[in-house]
Chain A
Amino acid sequence: MNAPNSFRTGPDETGHFGLFGGRFVAETLMPLILDLETAYEAAKVDPAYRAEMDAGLKHYVGRPSPLYYAERLTEHLRAGAPAGMGAKIYFKREELNHTGSHKVNNVLGQILLARRMGKKRIIAETGAGQHGVATATLCARYGLECVVYMGAVDVARQAPNVFRMKMLGASVVPVQSGSKTLKDAMNEALRDWVTNVSDTFYCIGTVAGPHPYPAMVRDFQSIIGTETREQILEMEGRLPDSLIACIGGGSNAMGLFHPFLDDPGVKIFGVEAAGHGIPTGEHAASLTGGRPGVLHGNRTYLLMDDDGQIAEAHSISAGLDYPGIGPEHSWLHDTGRATYISATDDEALAAFQLVAKLEGIIPALEPAHALAKVADLAPTFPEDHLMVVNLSGRGDKDIPQVADILGTRL
């Protein structure tokens, strides 16, 4: 495929990133997503909306999040590398945001948009519960009704987040259909939206779904990359040499990557969840192990069988346990602008523990996948190579699950 002049101009007016994206939804929803697109285009250029966003990001979310030099992890990896090798590693500290992950950046944008559109009822899907918690939080803050759909399997393995959402006043609906994980939660949220068309705003948590969601969520998350750019220029006087982030749907990764897509000197790595290993078939690596198909409103790489039936994903991390990926990632993959690799459950678990001990930061299991690949990649780059990893969430929510896996009774 020929490289475009810019990687930052997508999607086109019909919501496509090359082959990917689009608006594959039932007719009932089509007028709603057209309304949403109109409302978002208007809000984007409205200084009042921008000001409200900026104030919310600063005073409520706690931005900017720090860019932190992970000195001990850097030294640890250099110790195992050949002389002169071992990249200098920075963490973009999204785990320090209010609610504990990057999810709140997007939710703030969508909730302020919902208010402008006069919508009183907010629905959301959630996997690990981070997006659900962020949505419940902003709904509490603005006095909106909040209904969160969550697969019954995830409700069981992410109990702390379920309790948090309820504390925040949200109703959590355990989804019993299909594989009872994130994709089924999304189906159920779409069914709710088709039913409650007049008063309900669907707050999608990642860079997927029908246009304009992939572009809109990316725009809200791009604050991550925009800040990183300013911060690294201030700290190092130049751009980073590589970026790395974990990918379920891919919103934290897209937020970090997008402001750097047209800087050819910046290598970009996305890390999918390889679960028990790609050859076992029990994984969530859509780009590595899937092919293009249509689900949840967009064409993108999906895990499926030869009849086009969607496969169940597997990952230790509920937040990555999704058989698809945002369409813009599929496009960056096919154009070769970004490189997509994968980390297994075991690798993520090891990185989770390593970073806790070396840096005093307990990462969520999701960014632990990115950290696992940092441990592989950093030693292959010279010492003057600047590598930024998106530490997209904190691991508090994963403590019971990890303790269980490590055989510790809490």
Chain B
Amino acid sequence: MSTRIESRFKACATEGRAALVTFVTAGDPDYETSLALLRALPAAGADIIEFGVPFTDPMADGPVIQAAGLRALKAGQTLARTLEMVRAFREGDDATPIVLMGYYNPVYIYGVERFLADARAAGVDGLVVVDLPPEEDSELCLPALAAGLDFIRLATPTTDDRRLPAVLANTAGFVYYVSITGITGAATAIPSLVGQAVARIKRHTSLPIAVGFGVKTPEGAAAIAAGADGVVVGSALIDALRATLDSEDRATPATIPAVTGLVGKLAAAVRAVRRQAAE
């Protein structure tokens, strides 16, 4: 049986296009709004959802995603509630892959085995854990694979050819290429360099490659989509969300439409680009 992630990338490839991967932070700005947004993302054009697990000290994230995590925590978000949201989402959508993205400590404290069982039962498909490089695979990566969850690894511009095989060894689902050296939402990815990097990684793996960290606009997404299997957009969506909040960081009627509106534009841009014969 193929996984949701495999099926979705295959379906996009059949359409001759890249997948749009959207990142939002679980519980931002509150549980109800965030769940409603999660439910609205597929119809707006998201192919895969990366759901950010809030953490107090997100050392790879820029100010936009940091602030989203703190808003969620302030509103009472926990890892258990994030899993609860995925479970609620799965009641109405059994096809859209959900990847949890975050840092190791909340998972470690929840308990690795218990987390993997609960995440799988909730309908989580994959994990991106920023502070677990291959050197720490025994912590979560290997147990996750054994539990049937994809452990999606980050490859970066500093991951050279010598290191790539180790990075790819236990990677499953797809490879997340971090297009810049830097934090989320900072610099802008340069499409020509990204294309070269994707081609380089493709020489080492047959997994799909999604590109993120420096993609901000529909035009930028389209440029990346020409040379990758997926495009990840996060900070730009959260920026759009934040702009609609009231002075006390509460959701307004404009909150969900602002995000889904931008997702729609990103999806249209990505879908308009026919994949070059990269494969």
- Indicate if B5 sits at the interface (CB-CB under 8 A): no
Shortest distance between the CB of A236 and any CB in chain B (Å)? 45
**Chain B residues positioned under 8 Å from A308 (CB to CB):** 55, 79, 105-110
Question: Known: A178-B56, A307-B79. Contact between A31 and B159, CB under 8 A?
Answer: yes
Chain B residues whose CB sits within 8 angstroms of the CB of A307 once the complex forms: 78-80, 106, 109-110
- CB-CB < 8 A to B178: which residues of A? 27-28
| Residue A339 CB within 8 A of the other chain | no
CB–CB A294/B159 < 8 A: no
Segment at the A interface, from B129-137, B141-149, B196-204: B129-137
Q: Beyond A30-B135, A177-B66, A308-B107, is A295–B57 a contact (Cβ under 8 Å)?
A: yes
Taking a contact as CB atoms under 8 Å apart, the answer to whether B183 and A23 are in contact is: no
Note all chain B residues with C-beta closer than 8 A to A23: 133, 135-136
- Whether A24 contacts B136 by the Cβ 8 Å rule is yes
CB distance from B119 to the nearest CB of A (A): 15
Which of B9-17, B150-158, B243-251 contacts its partner?
A: B150-158
Check: B32 CB closer than 8 A to any chain A CB: no
Q: How far is the CA of A25 from the CA of B57 in the complex (A)?
A: 13
Beta-carbon nearest neighbor of B133 in chain A: A30
| Range for the number of chain B residues in contact with chain A | 35 or more
Indicate whether A6 reaches chain B with its CB closer than 8 angstroms: no
Total A-B Cβ pairs within 8 A: 118
Which residue of chain B has its CB nearest to the CB of A302? B105
Cβ of B80: which chain A residues have Cβ within 8 Å of it? 307
CA distance A26 to B61 in the complex (A): 11
For chain B, what secondary structure do more than half of its interface residues adopt (helix, strand, loop), or is it mixed? loop
How close is A31's CB to chain B, nearest CB, in angstroms?
Answer: 5
A24 touches B163 (CB 8 A): no
User: Among the listed A14, A191, A196, which residue makes an inter-chain contact with B59, where contact means beta carbons less than 8 Å apart?
Assistant: A191
Q: Which residues of A contact B218 (CB under 8 A)?
A: none
Tell me whether A296 is interfacial, beta carbon within 8 Å.
yes
**A103 contacts the other chain (CB 8 A):** no
Contact (Cβ within 8 A) B181 A194: yes
Check if B73 is an interface residue, CB within 8 A of chain A.
Answer: yes
**A293 at interface (Cβ–Cβ under 8 A)?**
yes
Known: A31-B158, A195-B182, A197-B158. A26 touches B131 (CB 8 A): yes
Q: Are A295 and B133 in contact (CB under 8 A)?
A: no
Residue of A29, A30, A191, A304 near B105 (CB, 8 A) is A304
Task: Please name 28 pairs of A and B residues whose Cβ atoms are closer than 8 Å in the assembled complex, sorted by A.
Answer: A14-B135, A24-B133, A24-B136, A25-B131, A26-B59, A26-B131, A27-B155, A28-B158, A29-B158, A30-B134, A30-B159, A30-B163, A178-B70, A184-B57, A190-B59, A194-B59, A195-B183, A195-B186, A197-B158, A293-B109, A297-B131, A306-B109, A307-B106, A307-B110, A308-B55, A308-B108, A309-B55, A310-B105
A-B contact sample (6 more), CB < 8 A, given A25-B133, A307-B109, A308-B106: A22-B135, A23-B133, A28-B60, A29-B158, A190-B59, A307-B79
The 3 tightest CB contacts between A and B, nearest first, are A308-B109, A308-B106, A195-B182
Interface residues of A (CB under 8 A from B): 14, 22-32, 177-178, 183-184, 187, 190-191, 194-197, 293-297, 302, 304, 306-310
